[in-house]
Each structure stands twice: as structure tokens, then as C-alpha cells.
Chains A and B, each alone.
Chain A
Amino acid sequence: MEIMDAAHNESLRLALTRAVGSFRANVKKALEKYPHTVALAEEVLKIKEKAIPEMANLARQAIAAIEENKGKGYIAKTADEALDIISGLVGTKKLIVKGKSMTGEEIGLREHLEARGNEVYETDLGEFIIQKLGDQPMHILSPSIHVPREDVARLFSKIFGKEIAPDAEIADMVAAAREYLRDKFFRADIGISGANAVAAETGTLFIIENEGNIRLATGAPPVHIALVGMEKLVPSLSDTFKVSEVTWRYANYTVPSYVSLVSGPSKTGDIEKVTTYGAHGPKEFHVIFLDGGRTKLARYPKLMQALYCLRCGGCLYECPIFAVTAGHFGDKYFTGIGAVWATIVNEDLEKAAAIAYTCLTCGRCRERCPMKIDVPEMILELRKMLAEGEK
């Protein structure tokens, strides 16, 4: 869909206007209830400033810890390397349940696995809708933000093979999806997830969610594979708690329903104290840390701040362009930060120029950002690189 078609799409605009309104009110409420979050965000920024230049080392440290826990850790230099590692682990003709992962989106993980003859189910409800619609996610936290309920009813009627009325209760639609996906979790060969933050010292993944699909996807199948961007690494467990709290609070939640902490495969020593792997949870635990241009991006003094992003999604609700075009404005990453990714990570200068010159540099995203990421500053730096060439 062209950006201007999106901009002229009234139902998209209405959906976004409503979302923006409730998001702002929710963040305000969450920050009023837990006012310490603002100072905590400043602390997290300091943690990030130190961790980002060190991320390759932190990844090695995390891998060592994960392997000590009897998991397996990998560093993928490129998206292709990550896909190779994962398809090597997965093989073909497997049933896979997947949690929502922007990093997965970044490397085209689902499509890659499907092309290799695997059956992949997105289990996040929004992502499930997007997958079944054959669409692209429009928001990092609410991928189907642009799909009205009538469209969901029509879609579900088709795939579940039973009629769901366009004016059915949303709860009934949710229940239908739950029923449909229920046995997939338990039949799946592999569960795939991302992570919101990772503690290098213990190799612990923090995965924040509300639906409970990630608990099931990472707990029920015999194998758990996690794909994590290297920028998610911070040194200690307590740092990771801080990052997580700031992330969900600025993502408009006082507290999420679930935070999973995963450091290794499932194990038990209950029979004669013999440690045995694969008790109730996965027997295998694999973590792939993706570089994919991140260490390169970290070397640009004015652009490295893009890596501080916690992906809370707050900025998107403040972007006037996003408000009328949603995910059509960006590349992997939405809005202005998308231009940084297009230039440095994906090395697509023409796409980068299109995004960089579409940013208004109005700066409202910076007001919202818990990491105070200066998008206008980055955009002007990119424009300089694009317009003048970089020496």
C-alpha cells in the first residue's frame, strides 16, 4: 500500500486516532502511579550508554553463561547467518509456534522457515491476524493496530471454518483464536521467541508479554529457540530488571501480566540427584544473538543512540506521520529510526532517503522517549550523509 493511500484511508486514521488517545492516557496513568519510572529511565539510559559499545563482549559473556546452563549460544554476524543457524536447528517439516519478535521480522524468519517446508504459527493475536491476512505489522507492539474488528471476524470465519458475526463480541473472537491455537502449542516441535532484555552475567532472557502465548510457546515444545538483537544485552540481572520495568511502563502498562525469565533448558534432579534435561519445559535451549549491522551502527557517534531503543513503541504514537500512515512510514523499524536502520543496517540508501526526508524533525518523539533518543538529530545527520556523501 502506498503511503498516500494509507494517509487517505479513513478507517486506518480512525483506528490510529483512537489508539493514540488511549495510549497517551495509559502512559500518563502508569507514570503517575509509579513516578519513580522517570528517574529509572535515566538510569537505564546510562546502562545502555555503557552496554552498547560493549555488546559484542556482552554477547560472548552471555553465551558462556548460557552454555554453562547447558543451553547453546550463537553470534550471527548477519541476518543470513542467523537464518542459517536457525534453519539448521529446525530442519524441515516441523510444527513451530512463534512469539512476536521484531528481530524475527527484521530477518524474515517466518517466511524463511515456511519456505523450507515448516508449518509456522504466529501466536501473538495481533501477529496471528497479520500472518493470516498476509499483511505486514503496523506497530511494534500492536501489529494489527490498523485492522478493524469486522475484518477480524471475516478472517476468523474463513480460517476457523465457523461463522463469526461481524458484530460479535471481541471476547468471542479472542476465544476462537485461543481454541484454534491451543493444541498447536502442545503439538509443536519447536517454540521460537525474541527477548526484551538479556542479562549477560547469567545469560537470562527477559520476555515481557500479556497474552501468555510466549509462556506456552517457550515452555511447552521440546525445543526453544530465541533470536535476540545484540543491543538487548546489558551486564547484570538487576540492570535487566530496570530495562524491563522502563520498557513496559513506557509501553503504557503499569505492569504486564507476565515476564518470563529464561536462562537454560528445563531440568530436574529429583531422581537420585541426577540432573536430567527436558523435564516439563524444553530439553533444548538455543539463543542466537544477531549483530546484523548493530556493531557497525554503534560506531557512528550521532547514530548509535538508535540502539538505545527499548522498543516500547511510545514514539510511534507521537509521530504525526505515523498517525496517518502507520507502518508504511519506515523500514523494519518504523518512523525516523527506520531511516537509521535503512542506511546503516540495511544499506539501502534510496529507501533511507525516502524515510529521512519524510521525517518532519518535529521532535515530539524525543519528548516521549524514555531513552531521549534524538531522532531529529539522527535524521539531520543521515540527510547530511545522503546529500553530501560521507567522506
Chain B
Amino acid sequence: MLLSACQSISQDVSLRLESVYEKTAMTSELLPPGLAYLADNIMTRQNILGVTKEQGAQWARGLDLPAQAETVFFAGCGYQFSGQLEALLSLIKSADKSFIGAELPMRFAQLQKKLGLNLPAVYSKVFSHGGEAEAKPLAAAVTVLRKLGIKPGYLAEKEPCCGAPLHQAGLQTKFAENARQAYGTLKSAGVRQIIGIVPYCTHALQKLFPLYVEDYDIEVRHFLEIVAEKLPSLKLRFPHKVRVAYHDPCQLARYLRLIDEPRQILKAIEGIELVETDWTKGEWATCCGGGGGFEAVFPELSGILAVNRAKELMATRPDIIVTHCPGCIMQLKDGLRQLKIEGVEVLDLAEVIAMAMA
């Protein structure tokens, strides 16, 4: 419908769209290269960064998680590589400021050409020597779950990718295809219940999969829901007294409506004083600038938004900033770095809970 309507005004764009549709949507000139790259990795390697499945599962080594279980922990692929992603993005940002001069209306294909920048090439260069996959929040979450008496499995190399960035990029057909495949993988592994942690993955598995997969019958819960439920029976104490500012990830607060849970948890931890921004908390929280892969589309603008959010949070004079999303952690660290603020750590809520249980 859209194509035919636009042919008269922009034959060129229409033809391009058509050929894109025939071959693969990945090469659409209307699709920002950063997102196209993430999407391509999902389709070919089943993770956003195109690393091997073994690298993605490395974090769980030594945790002895059963490979088969009715309830599995879904690690996703954000936390494992945040270190590398950070390095990558700062590399892109420092490379040449002018290349992100994303004038609106900027044509992405033109942008790419003008820059002479091959994002995928830059990405894979960084990831080819992405060695240690540090993922403290994932290990922390597993430790917490075990202390709560839950012994989840982990599919490790067999864990499918949720494909959320495909959906985010507009590649719904591919997302649907991926979702059905992923569901098949999960079902054949005997999974009945998923405990999610990455907000994007959890949202995809819980809210989007049922729209594309017939008779979807896997129960998906978020890690925080489980912790909040067990809260009354827990004794939590942080190693030292701290003021904590909590940053709500968009996907947690506005998409999964997990607004009270993190606050209940933080307030239940002895030694933590929760400080909140005036206007920008809960459903009103300001996006960190990550915005579903936004840092891969407009790294520089994304950096400005990171600074803005870091400023808002710093106005509450926290000792620690806590959030619960690998993208937000990366962005907020970047914001603090740009503001030259030292001594304020950005921690994942899973780590904070684990520390308070120790």
C-alpha cells in the first residue's frame, strides 16, 4: 500500500525498497547501519555482537548451572559484552566528530557514504579480540536466585537470541521468524518457565513472542519480581552506608511496569538510603540515551543524552547510581565519565542485592 502510494513522488526510493524487500531487508538504505549490523548478527550468529555462542556463555563457567531444567535463567546478550561495547563506542566517538553530524533529514545511506565509515568493520575489529566476558550482574543474579531457593537451569550455548533488536529495527518478519525458531529451541529443551534479567529480552519473551508465536505457553518472569516476592523473608544489609539513586530503565518502567519492585528492594536493604529525582523517576524517568540500540545509530547524540541523565541523577547527590539494564549501565558510566565525576559507581541492582545478601 505504502509503496504504490509513494512511487509517484519517489520512484527511486520505492524501487530501492522493492529490491530490498526481494533480497533482504538488512540492506535497506533507510535502515541505519548500526541497527542493520546488530540485526545481521542476530540472524547469523544469534547474538547482537556476532561473537561465538561459547563467548556468550562464558560467564556461567564455574557456576555449575544445569543445562536442562523446567525453569531457566535467560542471560541474553547485553551484560556479557558491555565492556567491549563501551570501548567500541568510545572509539567510534573519538574517531571523528564530524561524521555523526546527523542533519535531519539525513539519509542514512548518504551518511554512511559521506563518512566513508564502515560500522560493521569497526565493530568486528573490536570484537575479534573481545577476550574476557565479564558479566558480574549475571553471576550475581544467579547467586541471589539460589539463595532464594530457586535453582534455575541455563541453556548456555543453546540459549536462543530473543531478537529484540530486529523488532526495534522494524524487521518484524525476521523477528517473527526468529521468535518461532527460538520458541522451538526453548520447547525442545523442556523449558516451561523463564527468569529474565535483561529488560529488552524479558519484554520480547514476555510481551512480543505471544504476538508472533501461536499457542505460546512459556511463563516469563523478571528477576526483580521474584526477589520482590520473597522480600519479607529476607534480611538485607549493604556493606556500608550509602545514598543510592535509582535509574529506571525505560523497558523496565514503561514497558514491563516494574517500578515499585526495585524501590521496595532498595528500601529493604539496611544501609541504603534511596534518593530520587524530583520529576524524572518511575514512569517519568528520562531515557539514558540507549533507547533500544540508539547508541549504535547516533553515538554522539546518545552521549549527550547520557550526560543529561547523569546530571539529573547527580542532582540527588548519590554515592552510587543503581540501575538494572546493561545498556543503561554503559550509558550512565559514559555520562559520568564525560562529566568528569569520579568516585560515583554505577552498579547493577542484581549486584547490589547480592552484596546485601553476603
Contact = CB atoms under 8 A, between A and B. Distances in A.
A359 B25 CA distance: 20
Interface string A291-307: 00000100000000000
Given A386-B28, A387-B25, A7 B301 contact: yes
B291 A389 contact: no
Report the contact-size class of chain B (Cβ under 8 Å from the partner). 35 or more
A29 interface: no
B21 A358 contact: no
A132 B2 CA distance: 39
A384 interface: yes
A350 B168 CA distance: 18
Contacts of A329: 104
Given A2-B102, A362-B250, A357 B297 contact: yes
Interface in B1-55: 1-3, 5-6, 9-10, 13, 17-18, 20-21, 25, 28, 30-32, 35
Contacts of A361: 168, 250, 291-292
Contacts of A331: 105
Nearest to A20: B279
A364 B286 contact: yes
Nearest to A5: B101
Given A347-B9, A357-B297, A360-B294, A388 B25 contact: yes
Contact of A384 (B172, B283, B305): B172
Interface in B85-103: 100-103
A139 interface: no
B171 A351 contact: no
Contacts of B167: 380
Given A324-B305, A355-B104, A360-B294, A386 B18 contact: no
Nearest to B2: A390
B172 A388 contact: yes
Contacts of B287: 320, 360, 362, 364
Nearest to B249: A362
Nearest to B166: A387
Nearest to A363: B254
A386 to B, nearest CB: 5
Contacts of B309: 320
Interface in A1-57: 2-5, 7-8, 21, 24
Nearest to B309: A320
B250 A363 contact: yes
- Among B104, B255, B292, B309, find the residue whose CB has the most chain A CB atoms closer than 10 A: B104
Nearest to B39: A387
Nearest to B282: A367
Interface string B207-230: 000000000000000000000000
B3 A358 contact: no
B30 A351 contact: no
B168 to A, nearest CB: 7
Nearest to B286: A320
Given A3-B301, A24-B279, A388-B21, A360 B289 contact: yes
Given A362-B291, A387-B171, A320 B305 contact: yes
Contacts of B25: 387-389
A217 interface: no
B101 A2 contact: yes
A8 B108 CA distance: 21
A21 B279 CA distance: 8
A384 B170 contact: yes
A350 B17 CA distance: 11
B304 interface: yes
Contact of B1 (A7, A357, A390): A390
12 contacts: A3-B104, A7-B300, A353-B30, A354-B102, A358-B102, A358-B297, A358-B301, A360-B290, A360-B291, A361-B291, A367-B283, A367-B284
Given A2-B104, A354-B105, A367-B284, 20 more contacts: A3-B102, A3-B106, A4-B102, A4-B300, A4-B301, A7-B300, A343-B2, A350-B105, A356-B170, A357-B35, A360-B290, A360-B292, A362-B254, A362-B287, A380-B167, A383-B169, A385-B2, A388-B173, A389-B20, A391-B3
